[in-house]
Structure 1
Amino acid sequence: MPSYEKAAVVQKRMAERLAEVLAELSSFYPRVLEIGAGTGFFTRAAKERFSWSLYLACDLLPECACFLEPLGVHFVVANGEDPSWVRGTFDLIVSNAVFQWFEDLGESLLALAERLSPGGFLAFTTFGPDTMREIPREPPPGLLSLPRLTSLKPPGLEEIRAFRWQEVLYFEEPLAVLRHIRETGALGGLPTRWSLRALKAWQQSYERYKLEKGYPLTFEPILVIWRKVG
């Protein structure tokens, strides 16, 4: 996880942008539930920008506790994709760079919407299909376009924000691109084992993307915020 904390530059920018937009909507969210809190990128960004009475963060990895508990939030090891364990309702349910991993995002969004208080917000960032466009592969199924994501809006929720943007990282060599993908667990669609021949071929093919700044790797972050009517 320390390698992720250092390498996940785009995920950190996404967290900060999500926290900034939420701070524009309110300076206080009484009850907050964060899905897939990880090492606390969003949690820290939120703490700098708005306040709450209760903050419950969940993640599948127990080791996330050492990042989150010092921030003064409650942490539980739980699966955010199936929030049947959640008790009560929340004024903000939020997730940063996690939903691309869900197998059935539509069902998860419906379940999360049921756990919103009237007037509560469901806010998230995720990655779109243009992410890692330099990597020749079929886009992973979890990378949904903005129109597809907005079509999954649960009944009873209204759209507050929905937009996409582009982030580009530059690396000194193609191998550094591979290291970044490995350290962040990003959706690269690449093999876990390489023969020397395959690795050299991949490096040669990546040469065509070289720019003055270095070798680019493109990301398509998407930000969506819905509010429960009532």
Structure 2
Amino acid sequence: MAISLSWISPCLSHKLNLPHSNCLPRNTATSSTSTVFCALETTPGGESHCQRRPLLLGIGALTANLQPTNLVFAQEKSDRCRVFLDYEDGYSYIYPIDWKEFDFRALDSAFKDRYLQLQNVRVKSIPTEKKDIRDLGPMEEVIYNLVKHIYAAPNQRPTIKDMQEKTIDGKHYYTFEYILTSPNYSSASFATIAIGNGRYYTLIVGANERRWKRFRDQLKVVADSFRLLDI
């Protein structure tokens, strides 16, 4: 499935939010426009500007690489999500069109529901000398250590529900579902981790556990859409 790029300007930002036809449902209708939003960056003097560089990847490629079950789910939805492309850090993913961008603890990118603040997606990357996610060790061991020792706070009980490994265009990804239970609160999330471009990437998309049953399948589409770009 390809999407026409005829409306895109020859010069685009290294970080792009592009309309995408495969998306997640919302209870309230949201109009979709063919608009390219470039990420604003702030100079030391406080002046905002938009850095531009050529578009390198057709957005149809992201759609084509979705897992079959999630692609079928996504194709049933109307135009309510965007593709986020970051050519500087080398990754892309989709997110609901009516989520808004936010800054949180030096994340590479993050978007959250306008009304449900705890329903969000966030991506972070750190330098690594590893070449592939498999270099970290067996999937079960890597995920267990992450959830138990990194993601869970001391007062939280972690539960891992599912683990998946996938290979797309020779790149390997681990995607897993987990729940963090506190005495007064529980959250559920999907995470996708991968290594490439000399960086270790983590995408986490989650919600309050009370809403998880309703939105789980939709948020899984976001987790499965994460792709490494060659930079």
TM more than 0.5: no
Radius of gyration: which is bigger?
A: 1
With CA pairs under 8 Å and 6+ residues apart, which has the higher RCO, 1 or 2?
1
TM-score range, shorter chain: under 0.3
The structure where strand makes up a greater share of residues is: 2
The structure where helix makes up a greater share of residues is: 1
